[in-house]
Each structure stands twice: as structure tokens, then as C-alpha cells.
Amino acid sequence: MFDHPVLLILLIAALGALYVLAPVAADAYGRFRSRRQVQCPETGTVTSIQVDADRAARTALFGEPKLRVSDCRFWPGRYDCAQRCLGR
């Protein structure tokens, strides 16, 4: 079936990576897909944010997920904030 052993090795490596990386990405996506209530460090009030779950899932493949707010109740007025709320 496989005349080229290099192709077989690449296929096995790709399938192995899929079985290892897919669950890691799915776990990160599941953890960060819902809205969260956090305290805004700038205003001191509680706000609702949405974390960019796609980016968290992609970056989780290479270590700790890198988080970024994709939506906040205080936007667009405070769109250029430092997003320090993610550290809480």
C-alpha cells in the first residue's frame, strides 16, 4: 500500500500529533469559551469579559495559553485598556 516508507512515517507522526495536540487545544478552548465576571482594575467595578478562546487554544499547544480579551462590557470606551483583568 505504501511504497514510500517516509510517507508512512510522516503519516504516523501526523496522526500521533493529532491525538496529542487536539485534546490540549480542545481543553483550552472549553475552559475559555464562556463569558467571565471579573473586577476591572481600572474602574474597580465588576464587568463581563469574553476571552479569545481560539487564540487560547492555539497557544496552549506550545505551553501556557496566552489570553486576550475579545469583548468587554466597557468597550468601546475603554478598548485600549491594558487588559490587566486577565491576571485575576
Closest C-alpha to 26, from 68, 72, 47, 57? 57
Entry pTM = 0.74
Range of the domain at 46: 5-87
* Number of domains composing the chain: 1
Burial class (CB in 10 A: 0-12, 13-18, 19+), 60: buried
pLDDT in tens, 1-47: 567 888 889 999 899 888 988 999 999 999 999 999 998 888 888 98
Query: Residue 75: which pLDDT band, with cuts at 50, 70 and 90?
Result: confident
pLDDT for residue 71 is more than 80: yes
What is residue 25's predicted lDDT score, i.e. its pLDDT?
Answer: 93
Query: Residue 76: which pLDDT band, with cuts at 50, 70 and 90?
Result: confident
> How many Å apart are CA 11 and CA 52, to the nearest integer?
31
Angle separating helix axes 5-32 and 53-60, nearest 10 degrees = 140
Q: How many CB atoms lie within 10 A of CB 78?
A: 14
pLDDT for residue 50 is more than 90: yes
> How many Å apart are CA 75 and CA 68, to the nearest integer?
14
